[in-house]
Structure 1
Amino acid sequence: MQSFLLLFGVAACATSVIWIKKSGVDPVLLSGLRLVVASVALTPLFIRDWRRHRDVLTWRHYRDAAIPGVMLALHFITWLIGVRMTPAVNSTVLVNLTPIVMPLLLIWLTGERPNRRELLATGVAGIGLSILFVSDFNLSREQFNGDLVCLGSMLLLALYLTLGRKYRHHPTVWLYLVPLYYTAAVVALLLAPVFATDLSVDWPREWYWVLALGLIPTVLGHSLLNNAMRHFRGQVVGLASMLQFIIAGVLAYLLLPNETPAWTFYPASVFILLAGVIVVGRRKSRPAASPVATATRTAPPAEGTPTGSR
């Protein structure tokens, strides 16, 4: 079941490139608006879980949700800017290179090292990426800046997801995500007057794209990815996220003009799909115990001890 939810979240995230390219709202402002939609939509779940677990919540839980919230806001802003500067397939490939850097972040922040299966899957995915870079990837002068922005956004995404793995001590995923989304929304909206080139919104035309961006890739996509970080090893989630490249390429071909993938899209997709099958198709292994979880084996539950996700 968790494998299905992870793959469904990956598919939901892959739709973001469509809504971004359809919308004409400034990227900084659009980032804030999608986060407001997600925050408001999930607030009832937060209130429900807060009532159940308020006795064990401490200021540390809110702090640990706020830190990755800042990373998410910056990721969304740079991602939206990069998507509009480079083709959909290119931008999606670049932003999902997280398995290349996530092992280092996992070792640094959580002490979690990739196992042999994850290393094998990373190597297989690397073959697919090499096909794209060598044979198909177009680093033209016009797209080069967009490519760099997408690479920067990828680093922010990897850090944000890794922090989700590190801070999985929240009693439920909603007690972590909703403060995170609200923090990210505030950061993006505060940056909008400073960095946005146009703060106007043509709501009759834009409301659909803003709502779709907030509900599908954010509420469904990012929420399920963060939930997966509580149940799977970090590198598994990073490798599974690379499947976004395939889904986004197909959607862009069907829904966007002048977004026909080159022939190299297909062999690269085979390798990346195989990498996803290697890590997600297996039975979920038990995640490494966190220091808090380890402590519960020898001591009664202390304040802030996780009680499992809901």
Structure 2
Amino acid sequence: MNNNSLKIPVFIPLIIGIIAISFSSIFVKWSDAPVSVQGMYRLLFTLILMFPFVWKQVRFLKKMTWQEGFLLFLSGTFLALHFLFWMGSLKLTTVASSTILLSLQPVFVMIGAYIAFRERTSKAAIIGMVVAIIGAIMIGWGDIGISIKHIQGDVLSILGTIVVAAHMLIGQKLLRTFPATLYSFSVFFVAVIVFGIYNLTLSIPMTGYPEKEWGIFVLLAIIPTVFGHVLFNWLLKYVTAATISMAILGEPVGATLLAYLFLDESLTLSQWSGGAIVLAGLYYFLQNTRKQNRRSTPAPIKPPVTSGPIVKKG
């Protein structure tokens, strides 16, 4: 990954993405539609928004190998499962409890990145990750319940975290050759098909919802998907999946604050303190990752120095 080819500081699009995905849990809570329907229309409307910008790139798909096609299918399936599990968890527990378990994502991504790409992370960056995870735990600890309903929500959130980590690692590999917008479009298309099959199999109605629900589907497409997932997929061309997953640790902070403002969910001193710790850990991680990238960038090759004019023999 080449951080230096990005024309703007990487933290700017990261912050935009974090704020955008933080709204996702609010919209999901507002909706009364099944999560599989929310996920399907969220991505379907995103495809419609993206099509004018990506249709000229579709010809690139003719050049991909069957291995790349299989990886695209896996990535889209994992994304659909992530939405299904995580959005489902929000129906069973609070926003803080659900988003807290997303803090495990960097752990799964770093393990997967080491296995798949032999990608190493500096000790300083790992310290930043641990600090952010501790802060995220502080945010959700008070809301983690012991009821069966809460436990089911926690399990779904963990499963959603594991599959989205796999989705991001596949994206890191494919985006070495794929245009970012085409990758996002293709993955969303696969996920819509998966959701459609799921809804048909379980006889979940896909029409007949009130205007309020359609408005929420559109908001889910524009804010957390276009300005969140699409933006993060684009950033995978410049930073590692581990960096993106670390940045997503900011979601519990944003989502908990938004839940306090829009859903009347309480916010304790522990959650305020945890939010500050998460931000401190993120800052430390990103600073050390940037320094590591600078050190790993090869120095330009200097032309040989000659003491006099070059004489061509013969």
TM-score by length of 2: 0.83
Does the 8 Å CA contact 2:57/2:182 hold for their aligned counterparts?
yes
Residue matched to 2:193 = 186
CA 41–130 in structure 1, closer or farther in 2 if over 3 Å, else same: closer
Of 249, 265, 284, which aligns to 2:271? 265
Residue matched to 2:305 = none
Local SS of the residue matching 1:242? helix
Does the 8 Å CA contact 1:102/1:158 hold for their aligned counterparts?
yes
Residue matched to 2:23 = 15
- Following superposition, the deviation at residue 207 of structure 1 comes to 1.4
Letter paired with 1:175: L
CA 36–174 in structure 1, closer or farther in 2 if over 3 Å, else same: same
Kindly indicate whether residue 215 of structure 2 is the aligned counterpart of residue 208 of structure 1: yes
Residue matched to 1:236 = 243
Deviations 1:31-86 (A, max 9, x none): 111111111211122223346x5786555544432220010011111111111111
Matched residues in 2 for 1:171 and 1:33: separation?
Answer: 25
Kindly indicate whether residue 260 of structure 2 is the aligned counterpart of residue 247 of structure 1: no
Matched residues in 1 for 2:129 and 2:15: separation?
Answer: 17
Does the 8 Å CA contact 2:40/2:195 hold for their aligned counterparts?
yes
Matched residues in 1 for 2:134 and 2:229: separation?
Answer: 26
Local SS of the residue matching 1:24? coil
CA 196–8 in structure 1, closer or farther in 2 if over 3 Å, else same: farther
Local SS of the residue matching 1:264? helix
Runs of 5+ consecutive residues of structure 1 not aligned to the other structure = 290-310
Does the 8 Å CA contact 1:38/1:215 hold for their aligned counterparts?
yes
Residue matched to 2:151 = 144
CA 136–18 in structure 1, closer or farther in 2 if over 3 Å, else same: closer
Does the 8 Å CA contact 2:21/2:225 hold for their aligned counterparts?
yes
Matched residues in 2 for 1:142 and 1:158: separation?
Answer: 25
- Equivalent residues, number: 287
Matched residues in 1 for 2:82 and 2:294: separation?
Answer: 26
Matched residues in 2 for 1:284 and 1:180: separation?
Answer: 32
Matches within 5 A, 1:17-36: 17-36=25-44
Does the 8 Å CA contact 2:133/2:249 hold for their aligned counterparts?
no
CA 134–222 in structure 1, closer or farther in 2 if over 3 Å, else same: closer
Does the 8 Å CA contact 1:29/1:196 hold for their aligned counterparts?
no
Letter paired with 2:176: H
Letter paired with 1:272: V
CA 136–210 in structure 1, closer or farther in 2 if over 3 Å, else same: closer
Letter paired with 1:19: F
Matches within 5 A, 1:78-117: 78-117=85-124
Local SS of the residue matching 2:72? helix
Kindly indicate whether residue 14 of structure 2 is the aligned counterpart of residue 6 of structure 1: yes
Runs of 5+ consecutive residues of structure 2 not aligned to the other structure = 1-7, 297-314
Residue matched to 1:279 = 285
Aligned residues with identical type, % of pairs: 23
CA 213–56 in structure 1, closer or farther in 2 if over 3 Å, else same: same
Q: 153-162 or 194-203, which moves further after superposition?
A: 194-203
- Following superposition, the deviation at residue 89 of structure 1 comes to 1.2
Matches within 5 A, 1:20-99: 20-50=28-58, 57-99=64-106
CA 197–186 in structure 1, closer or farther in 2 if over 3 Å, else same: closer
Deviations 1:218-256 (A, max 9, x none): 122001111222211222211110001111011111111
Does the 8 Å CA contact 2:40/2:196 hold for their aligned counterparts?
yes
Matched residues in 2 for 1:29 and 1:284: separation?
Answer: 43
CA 287–82 in structure 1, closer or farther in 2 if over 3 Å, else same: farther
- Following superposition, the deviation at residue 208 of structure 1 comes to 0.9
Matches within 5 A, 1:219-234: 219-234=226-241
Deviations 1:7-50 (A, max 9, x none): 21121111100110111111112111111111121112222334
CA 136–31 in structure 1, closer or farther in 2 if over 3 Å, else same: closer
Local SS of the residue matching 2:237? helix
Matched residues in 2 for 1:284 and 1:36: separation?
Answer: 39
Residue matched to 1:294 = none
Deviations 1:259-285 (A, max 9, x none): 112321011111111111113356476
